[in-house]
C-alpha cells in the first residue's frame, strides 16, 4: 500500500526522512543480556518508562563500563507508535559513547532535533512531539539506577505538565514553530493540559509555578514583537519612496529606535511620528517632541538636523523632518 494511502500526503510529509527510516528499520532495537555484559566485564542497566498520556512504553538497555562510566552499548524495546520507535532509536544512538553523566543531559528536544533532516524543519507532526518525552525520562531513570540516586535529582528542565511530562522549553518551541494561538491547540499538539488540567490556569487541584495560559500569552507577545521588528527590517531593505504609508511609518520608527531615540531618552526626552506627506519632491515627516525635547532650543536646530540626516542616509534623500 502506498504511503499516501496510509496517512495522506500532507501528514506523511510532516515526518522527516530520518523518522520514517527509523520507523521502518530501527538500528538499535533489541535487548542486551546479562551474560554478554558480564563477558565484557561491564554492568547492565535496564530501565522501563511508560507514558500514561498516550499508553506508550519503552525499555532501555545500557552496557556500562564501570571503570569509565562509559555507555559502550545500548538498545531499546518500545511498545507504541512508529514515532515512539524512531524517538527511542535516536535516543539510544545518542547515548552510545557518552558517559552516564553526559547521557543524562540529553533532553527530548535534543532527540527531536537529531531526527530532523534540516535544522529548521521539525522532524514530526506537532501532535507527536510528546513521543520524545519518554526518551528524556527513561534516560534519567537508567542514570539514577546506575548512580544509585533518584531520577528526579537530574531534573534540569522545568516541567509544566506533570501528567504528560511536557517541559517549559518544549511548550515554548512548539507554540513558536506552529504559531499556536489557543490553549486547545497547545493541548492538541503537546498533550499538556489534557489530563488533570491543573497546568492550564490557576484554580486547579494542584498549584503550579507555570500555567499554560501565561506561557502562551508570553510567547505570543514575543512573537508579535519579532514580527514587528521583521516588518520594520523588511521596510528598511525595500524602496522607501515606493512604500505604503504604514510601511514608511514602520521604517522611520525602526531607524529612530536604532539610531536616535536612545539619545533623546538620555536627556529626558523623546519623539513620535505624527504624519507623513509625500509631495513628489519631498517626503515630509511631521514629528512631535516629547518630554524635555519639547522645550529644548536644539529641537529646531542640532537635534532636528541629526534626525533628518539620519533618515536621509538610511531611507531617502527626499526626507524632510518638520516639528509641530
Q: How are strands ordered across the β-sheet holding 57-65?
A: 43-50, 57-65, 70-79
Strands 283-291 and 319-323: parallel
User: Do the Cβ atoms of 43 and 141 come closer than 8 Å?
Assistant: no
Q: Given 95, 131, 163, 293, which residue is catalytic?
A: 131
CB atoms within 10 A of CB 166: 29
Q: Examine the residue annotation and report whether 54 is marked as an active-site residue of this protein.
A: yes
Pull the grid cell for residue 67. Answer: 571503570
Count of helix runs (H) and strand runs (E) in the chain = 14, 8
Query: Known catalytic residue: 131?
Result: yes
Q: At which residue does the C-alpha cell 499508553 appear? A: 55
Strand ranges (E), the chain: 43-50, 57-65, 70-79, 159-161, 166-167, 269-278, 283-291, 319-323
CB atoms within 10 A of CB 157: 18
| C-beta atoms surrounding 74 within 10 Å | 24
CA distance 76 to 84: 11
DSSP 156: -
Which regions of 149-231 does DSSP assign to beta strands (E)? 159-161, 166-167
Query: Distance between CA atoms of 271 and 261, rounded to whole angstroms?
Result: 7
* Length of the chain as a residue count: 324
Q: Which residues contact 280 (CB under 8 A, 6 or more apart)?
A: none
Q: Which residues are catalytic?
A: 54, 131
Amino acid at each position: 500500500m502506498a504511503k499516501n494511502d496510509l496517512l495522506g500526503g500532507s501528514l506523511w510529509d510532516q515526518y522527516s526522512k530520518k523518522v520514517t527510516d527509523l520507523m521502518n528499520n530501527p538500528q538499535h532495537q533489541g535487548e542486551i543480556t546479562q551474560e554478554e555484559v558480564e563477558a565484557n566485564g561491564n554492568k547492565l542497566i535496564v530501565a522501563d518508562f511508560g507514558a500514561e498520556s498516550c499508553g506508550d512504553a519503552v525499555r532501555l538497555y545500557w552496557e556500562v563500563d564501570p571503570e569509565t562510566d562509559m555507555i559502550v552499548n545500548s538498545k531499546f524495546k518500545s511498545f507504541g507508535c512508529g514515532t515512539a520507535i524512531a524517538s527511542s532509536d535516536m535516543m539510544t544512538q545518542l547515548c552510545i559513547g557518552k558517559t552516564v553523566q553526559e547521557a543524562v543531559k540529553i533532553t527530548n528536544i535534543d532527540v527531536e532535533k537529531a531526527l530532523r533532516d534540516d535544522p529548521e524543519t521539525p522532524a514530526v507532526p506537532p501532535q507527536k512531539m510528546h513521543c520524545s518525552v519518554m526518551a528524556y525520562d527513561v534516560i534519567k531513570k537508567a542514570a539514577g539506577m546506575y548512580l544509585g540516586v533518584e531520577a528526579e535529582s537530574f531534573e534540569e528542565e522545568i516541567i509544566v505538565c506533570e501528567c504528560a511530562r511536557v517541559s517549559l522549553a518544549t511548550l515554548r518551541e512548539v507554540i513558536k514553530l506552529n504559531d499556536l494561538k489557543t490553549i486547545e491547540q497547545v493541548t492538541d499538539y503537546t498533550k499538556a493540559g489534557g489530563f488533570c488540567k491543573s497546568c492550564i490556569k490557576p484554580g486547579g487541584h494542584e498549584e503550579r509555578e507555570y500555567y499554560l495560559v501565561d506561557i502562551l500569552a508570553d510567547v505570543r507577545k514575543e512573537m508579535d514583537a519579532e514580527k514587528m521588528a521583521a516588518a520594520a527590517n523588511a521596510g528598511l531593505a525595500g524602496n522607501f519612496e515606493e512604500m505604503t504609508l504604514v510601511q514608511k511609518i514602520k521604517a522611520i520608527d525602526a531607524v529612530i529606535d536604532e539610531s536616535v531615540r536612545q539619545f533623546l531618552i538620555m536627556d529626558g526626552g523623546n519623539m513620535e511620528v505624527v504624519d507623513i506627506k509625500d509631495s513628489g519632491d519631498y517626503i515630509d515627516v511631521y514629528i512631535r517632541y516629547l518630554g524635555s525635547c519639547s522645550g529644548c532650543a536644539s529641537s529646531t536646530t542640532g537635534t532636528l538636523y541629526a534626525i533628518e540626516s539620519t533618515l536621509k542616509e538610511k531611507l531617502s534623500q527626499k526626507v524632510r523632518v518638520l516639528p509641530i
